[in-house]
Amino acid sequence: MAVEQNGVSAGSTIGSGSTTVDWEQLKEAATAAMKKAYVPYSKFPVGAAALTADGRLVSGCNVENASYGLTLCAECALVGNLHMTGGGLLRAFYCVDSTGNVLMPCGRCRQLLYEFRAPDMELMTTQGIKTMDQVLPDAFGPQNLEDSSVN
């Protein structure tokens, strides 16, 4: 069952087959997700939204824990949502804070997003739209496990 987020159901199709990304719609979805964040300790809500290669919208928010190391970033929830709504690859990504400012994924989350990226995935950054390869150059991924051999 899809969850309604800012008028768009999670996992619903919003642009299947389109070659353009509606960055404003992604920002709105990220903002809607941010409003669902559980942040009783830091008071720093984060929301993320992404467009999949097949045109679905997925989103997530950060969820804190009293044991700080167990806190989940919004990107973790987004990837969980991706799999709950059919899997696939991410094509475009947007992340915001409570004032609507663009946030860059932390290193851990860049690695997480890399694993689920479409080859042409783009991210909205503080310096405009960039590719995943630009924000995580020389990334480690599944291909490295396939190429390695045990001596």
Q: Which residues are catalytic?
A: 75
CA distance 135 to 125: 9
**Beta carbons within 10 angstroms of residue 62's beta carbon:** 24
For the stretch 78-83, contacts whose Cβ atoms lie closer than 8 Å and that sit 24 or more positions apart, written own/partner, are 78/33, 78/48, 78/49, 78/50, 79/112, 79/113, 79/116, 81/10, 81/11, 82/50, 82/52, 82/58, 82/116
